Amino acid sequence: YLFELKEDDDACKKAQQTGAFYLFHGLAPLLQTSAHQYLAPQHSLLELERLLGKFGQDAQRIEDSVLIGCSEQQEAWFALDLGLDNSSSISASLPKPEMETELKGSFIELRKALFQLSAKDASLLSTAQALLRWHDAHQFCSRSGQPTKKNLAGSKRLCPSTNIIYYPQIQVNLRELETAAWFSHHEVATALKRKGPYTQQQNGTVPFWLPPKLAISHQLIKEWVEKQTSSSLPA
C-alpha cells in the first residue's frame, strides 16, 4: 500500500482525504505535554485546511507534505513543515508563536524530546524530520542548478530540465551502519550500570553496550541520563 502511495500521485491525494498530518516548524515537531511525556498530535486534512486559511495561506501548501507511513488499517500518515520556505510553497513560513497558541502545543527540537515520546511517535517523527530536511536541502538539481519538483508523496524529486530523479535515503544504510535501533531511558540507564563481559540472555540476545567511559560519546550519554533523571518536563 505504501509503495502504491509513493508511486501514484492520485492514490496519494486520495489517501490525504482520510489521512493524518503531523506538523513541524523549522524541522521541530509540534508536541503537547501529557503527564511525564510528550504527545505528537495528529490533524485531519480538514483541520489543516482551516488552519492554513486562518493564517492567510492557500490549501496548496499541503502539497509540501511528505508521506511517512501508514497504519495497519491503511490510514496514511503525512508530515508538513510550516516553517520552511519551500520553492513550491505559495508564501513563506507561518508565524511560530501564533501557531503554537492556535494548536495548543509547542514546536520542540526533536533531539530534546525524543526520549519522552512513545516508540511509535519517536520513529515516525524521526523519519518525518529526516525526509523534510532532505527535501529542504535538495530543492535544486546538482547538475543543472534548476529547481527540482517533488512527487506528491515526497518519495522522490525530479529535475524537469535533465530528467534526473533524486531519491531520499527514509532507511539505515548498511554500508555505513551495521544496525540501528531505538532505546528507552530505562534501557540506556541500565546499560550505564552494566559491568563485566558480555553475557548472553536466556532468549539468546546480547544486551547492548555503551562506548567506554573515556569516550566523549559515553560522557554525553551519561550526562543526558542524569539530566532526565533529576529534571521534569517543562510546563
Give per-residue pLDDT as tens, 72-129: 899 999 999 998 765 444 445 678 889 999 999 999 999 888 888 888 898 899 999 9
Distance CA 211, CA 24 (A): 33
> Domain with 18 in it: what CATH number?
3.90.79
- The answer to whether 66 and 129 have CB atoms below 8 angstroms apart is no
- Count: domains in the chain: 2
Give yes or no: residues 114 and 178 share one domain: no
Residue 85 belongs to what domain range?
A: 1-138
27 and 82 in a single domain? The answer is yes
Q: 92 and 117 in contact (C-beta within 8 Å)?
A: no
Is residue 199 scored above 70 in pLDDT? no
In DSSP terms, 21 is beta-bridged to 43, 78
Question: Of residues 227 and 137, which shows the higher confidence score?
Answer: 137
Average confidence score pLDDT of the chain: 85
CA distance 179 to 199: 20
Can you give the pLDDT at residue 235?
43
Residues 9 and 83 in one domain: yes
133 and 54 within one domain: yes
The string of pLDDT tens digits covering residues 14-67 is 999 999 999 999 999 999 998 889 999 999 999 999 999 998 888 999 999 999
Residue predicted with more confidence, 187 or 5: 5
What pLDDT, on the 0 to 100 scale, is given for residue 87?
46
Find the helix packing angle between 9-18 and 45-54, rounded to 10°.
90
- Tell whether 133 and 198 lie within a shared domain: no
Q: Is 37 inside any structural domain? A: yes
Q: Give Cα separations from 101 to 14, 56, 98 (angstroms).
A: 30, 16, 5
pLDDT number for residue 103:
93
When pLDDT is cut at 50, 70 and 90, the band that residue 176 belongs to is low
Q: What pLDDT, on a 0 to 100 scale, did the predictor assign at position 86?
A: 56
> What average pLDDT score do residues 185-212 get?
73
**198 shares a domain with 115:** no
If asked whether residues 31 and 87 sit together in one domain, one would say: yes
Whether residue 133 is found in the same domain as residue 179 = no
